[in-house]
Amino acid sequence: MKLTCVATPGSGGDYHTPASHLLEVEGVRLLLDCPVDLSALAAFAPVPLGADCGDAGDLIRAVPYYWSPAAAAAAKAGGVDAVLVSSATGMLGLPFLTRLPSFANTKVYVTELAARIGKLMMGELMEMHSEFVRYYGLDTDGSPKWMQGEKLHKLLSSLQNIVIEDEGMDLAPLMPLYSAPNLEECMRKTQTVKYGEEVCFNGMLMLKASSSGLELGNCVWSIKGPRASITYLPSTLFVSAHALDCDYNSLKENDIILFSDFSSLNVMDENNENLGENAMVCDDSLLRADGVDEDEYVQCLSKNDDIAEEIERISFICSCISDAIKSGGSVLIPIGRLGVILLILEHISETLLSSNMKVPIFMISDAAEKIISFTNAVPEWLCKPRQEKLFSREEEALFGHVELLKEGRLFLFPHLYSKGLLAAWKEPCIVFCLDWSLRHSTAVHLLRRWHADKRNLLVLEQGVDTELTLKPFTPAAIQVLECSFLSGIKVRKVNPLLAVLKPKLVLFPEELKSWCPSKEDAPWSYLYYSKGKTIEIPNIREDFVVGLPTDVAFGLQPRQLDKAIAIARLRAKLHLSKGQYVLVAPKDQSDESNRQLLHWGAVDAGRLLSALQEKGIECAFPADNDDGSAGCERSILITSPGEALVKMAPDRTVIYCDDESTTKQIYDALSSVCNGI
């Protein structure tokens, strides 16, 4: 087995740009996630530029290219057999691959819900991209001018970090956006799976998706083959306020965990020292002589302290929104997280109601209405409290946005120029949009309108380069609130998770090594990986189990070797089915039923001599042969019909003969005096 980490999370963090890997197992090459890092869009000037474009002189004024190291690495590898997608954002780069001839037979596995949301997000990305095309026109002369050395070197150093990243001058990951036919081709190659559904790839691997808890439709993959079982663990939450909690029980006893949750690098605890102490407490308790039982680890994972912090964070955001509204300002929230949007809507409704403020809330997105509707259509992906609410007799809305829609306080429109929006528009207001790059569509228009008013508020997700992002809108007086949201496993919960799952090997990011140092006497071993390097994964199982159909097993005629072992003869072919080796036997085995294929036991020299003579073979014991004392070697000398010698020792019998016919006669005589099947 081999693992190559081809991309680590971009500046957008794990949620928007999950890590990506190439995994080779059982001769199959898998690509794990294929995202697009949309933070590279900050290097491009927004459209429309307008009369006042701020300090946008150093930005690229052209149709943008999109940064997808995962797609570039998979294409360079010459193709993959299958792609496993863990989230909607993890499939945004797939059309870059599926449009290539070398990916004609590639299968894509993704949960049904993530596929639906991902398709909507890709459609919205293409719709926003079309604004650039309409403004600048298509570049039909090959590589655009800004990608030619001199222009690229003139970019600000901060721009170079985003556009070129740490790849030097290798711009292969920068690609022109795919087209609608590319998207449709991608979706045709996609095989959707339901929650908990197990599917078989090529008879060799069994694949199963279970909830990761981070978002509706996001999943953890279990990959099981005949020689190993692997857990692909992307960003995960054990307790969620909206999505189904991570089902870590279904991952128990898998041999290998590929830990791909980098969220701790982006959002560490406020006090790093306390974080380190918490991590060490987990390590120490794990290795204490008296140990800690599994229930205590489960309790640690099941604590809702992370969600409590998230709700507190959301409440603070809502209080800032309320203050901006009270001052007469409007609020722009360009955040693309469905779960965060649902929670903010739920809490802002309560905040506005308690303050007796009536302001309209707009969600402007081509996919908004469809994505919001998924919350009522996929109960299996909802957290348990909301599932109970759904199936209770009380007519209570699952999420707060339902009541806002009924009361006419929340409006969903695909575009700013949508019919009906002008009639409903009123300021101050709150606007949600999915464009967190602030480079096109709704966000650009509203920032041009609101950026100079200090009463207005812009809510950004932490990880965005605020200075660069707001460059085209300077001088900006608008208030900016940068927020971090729960994106994955806290470091202090890593060891309790491993203690519950009991893996044999953990593939862990090199960047997190200092936060989770390995212990010599830990029950599992670590193998560290880093971006761009291929590591060999040792075989966890030297042997493998072979299955035997029940009807074939009952048809066997075993012979007892001793009290513990019996042996039987079977003619069969070794097949690989559903990730397991299976012996498939033909119905008719009568053609070889009388021929013994295996013999065992000590050979009685006297009986063998008699059996040979009965077949007309002239033979005798040599004159100098031992008299048959126990443990001694004996020989039989054969003179006719051909010359041969049979030597019998306690642990072996050897026939020396050049004549094939004579050899067969000797073998038949030997078989008649031995136990065999």
Q: What is the DSSP string of 359-391?
A: --EEEE-TTHHHHHHHHHH-GGGB-HHHHHHHH
Q: Which of 56, 91, 180 is nearest to 129 (CA)?
A: 180
Give the whole-angstrom CA distance, residue 69 versus residue 6: 7
109 CB burial (10 A radius; 0-12, 13-18, 19+) = buried
121 CB burial (10 A radius; 0-12, 13-18, 19+) = buried
pLDDT of 271 reads 40
pLDDT of 557 reads 78
Give the whole-angstrom CA distance, residue 339 versus residue 346: 11
List, run by run, the mean pLDDT of 10-residue segments along the chain (677 residues).
Answer: 89 76 93 89 77 65 87 90 95 92 91 93 90 82 67 45 53 87 94 92 92 93 92 93 89 92 61 39 44 76 86 94 95 90 90 88 86 78 86 74 88 88 93 83 89 94 81 90 88 88 93 76 87 91 82 80 79 83 74 57 85 91 71 86 88 87 88 76
Residue 57 near residue 48 (C-beta atoms within 8 A): no
Residue 501 near residue 251 (C-beta atoms within 8 A): yes
pLDDT of 182 reads 94
Helices 660-673 and 605-614: crossing angle in degrees, nearest 10, is 130
- Give the tokens for residue 553: 């097993």
Q: What is the pTM of this model?
A: 0.82
Question: What's the residue count for the chain?
Answer: 677
Give the whole-angstrom CA distance, residue 595 versus residue 58: 85
Residue 46 near residue 444 (C-beta atoms within 8 A): yes
**SS3 assignment, position 438:** coil
Strand 107-111 relative to strand 82-84, pairing: parallel
Neighbouring CB atoms inside 10 A of 100's CB total: 14
Q: Report residue 66: phi and psi, to 5°.
A: -120, 140
Q: Residue 675: which H helix or E strand, with range?
A: strand 675-676
Please name each of the domains of the chain with its CATH number.
303-481 (3.40.50.10890), 544-582 (no CATH), 597-674 (3.30.310)
Give the whole-angstrom CA distance, residue 317 versus residue 278: 28
Going by C-beta distance under 8 Å and a sequence separation of 6 or more, which residues neighbour residue 566?
558, 559, 560
Whether the CA torsion 395, 398, 399, 402 is positive or negative: it is: negative
pLDDT of 279 reads 39
**SS3 assignment, position 229:** strand
Whether the CA torsion 80, 81, 85, 91 is positive or negative: it is: positive
Q: Side chain identity at 107, as an amino acid letter? A: K
Give the whole-angstrom CA distance, residue 677 versus residue 669: 15
Neighbouring CB atoms inside 10 A of 136's CB total: 15
DSSP line for 61-117: -S---EE-HHHHHHHHTT--SEEE--SSGGGTTHHHHHTSGGGTT-EEEEEHHHHHH
